Amino acid sequence: MAKRFSAEKYVAGILAGDRVMLSRAITLVESKLHSDHELAQEVISQVLPHAGNSVRIGITGVPGVGKSTFIEAFGIYLIQQQQKKLAVLAIDPTSQRSGGSILGDKTRMDTLATNPQAFIRPSPAGKSLGGVTRSTRESIILCEAAGFDTIFVETVGVGQSETAVHAMVDFFLLLMLAGAGDELQGIKRGIMEMADAIAITKADGSNKDKAKVARAEYQNALHLYPRAASGWLPHVSTCSALQQQTGLNTIWQTISEYLQLTRSNGYFEQKRRDQNLQWMYEAIRQGLEEHFYNHQQVKAQLPDVAAQVKEGKKSAFAAASELLGLV
């Protein structure tokens, strides 16, 4: 079992901006050990009054879009040009590998990883998306309490994790590649709808014209959607690892405009409040199911009952009633 400290020690370290202690606190909230949960909740509760003062940005895109390169360049830009302190949290539901996930692999963000104003944390991708997103949300709070004012939550744009990430960030940035048709193949369609901005990467050299065309196409497509509740019309821009400054500055301007709009019309605050509540209901659901499916009798009888349901010998609802009656 890993080393544990008192809640006070974690809290003091985090509030002092101690990166090692921040890292250990994240390990604590990621722990699946029941014995760690109470301590983790205690730490979260104590740092909560010091959290919230950040801009939370979700960044997604299919593998190959150049996410690491973009995050490294955009991160350095924010630190150097905008005097930000940046934490990068990565979720990768597709990888079951323990240790470093493919997403947050530090070796792919060398410059950012060694910058004292940046903190990079890959999620240990587990079986349960619920578990990963839960700890990611708590990690955001820990990073904010440690003084990070800009949080990236990075994910692969291929599935369900985007909805979870969308529910924990203020701004959702989608990275896309130019090129006929491939936009539909990689990105699940619902994801485009969640984007507050789309950035078309690798807009350089012979790719530049294609990127411009793609930009116009996406901008048109986004116009067809009904206006979002925030009053915001998603922006589309292009960027390149070779011509970073122009593209990155445009993206930051877009984010700033979004923040200005949504902070002045109250949407920013409202969304965060709604997200808090949404996570409470989600946590209740998880708690109820965890308790139920770990019950001895349910564990013993579930396989048989499930088999009967699968075979159509028992109705889904009769089976549910039967199992619910055991607890």
Residues that bind its own copies (CB under 8 A): 41, 44-45, 48, 52, 134, 137-138, 141, 181, 184-185, 188-190, 192-193, 221, 224-226, 272-274, 276-280, 282-289, 291-292, 305-306, 309-321, 323-324
Q: How far is the CB of 273 from its own copies (least distance, A)?
A: 4
Do 175 and 59 touch, CB atoms closer than 8 A? yes
The smaller minimum CB distance to its own copies, of residues 52 and 266, is found at: 52
Q: How far is the CB of 267 from its own copies (least distance, A)?
A: 15
The smaller minimum CB distance to its own copies, of residues 32 and 285, is found at: 285
Measure the CA–CA gap between 66 and 265, rounded to whole angstroms. 34
Closest CA to 104 of 119, 93, 120, 81: 120
Q: How far is the CB of 81 from its own copies (least distance, A)?
A: 30
Q: Which residue pairs from 275-284 have beta carbons closer than 8 angstroms and sit at least 24 positions apart in sequence?
A: 275/167, 275/168, 278/167, 279/137, 279/167, 279/168, 282/130, 282/134, 283/134
The smaller minimum CB distance to its own copies, of residues 245 and 276, is found at: 276
Do 201 and 65 touch, CB atoms closer than 8 A? yes
The smaller minimum CB distance to its own copies, of residues 33 and 280, is found at: 280
The smaller minimum CB distance to its own copies, of residues 113 and 309, is found at: 309
Q: How far is the CB of 164 from its own copies (least distance, A)?
A: 13
The smaller minimum CB distance to its own copies, of residues 233 and 306, is found at: 306
Q: How far apart are the first and last CA of the chain?
A: 32
For β-strands 118-122 and 86-91, DSSP reports them as: parallel
The smaller minimum CB distance to its own copies, of residues 105 and 179, is found at: 179
Length of the chain, please?
Answer: 327
Q: How far is the CB of 308 from its own copies (least distance, A)?
A: 9
The smaller minimum CB distance to its own copies, of residues 41 and 264, is found at: 41
Q: How far is the CB of 324 from its own copies (least distance, A)?
A: 4
Residues 6+ apart with CB under 8 A from 170: 55, 56, 57, 259, 262, 268, 271, 272
Q: How far is the CB of 288 from its own copies (least distance, A)?
A: 4
**What strands lie across the sheet with 235-238, from one edge to the other?**
118-122, 86-91, 150-156, 55-61, 171-177, 197-201, 235-238
Q: Which residue has the tokens 């979002």?
A: 228
Segment (H or E) for 174: strand 171-177
DSSP 237-279: EE--SSSHHHHHHHHHHHHHHHHHHHHHSSHHHHHHHHHHHHH
Q: How far is the CB of 34 from its own copies (least distance, A)?
A: 12
Do 254 and 237 touch, CB atoms closer than 8 A? yes
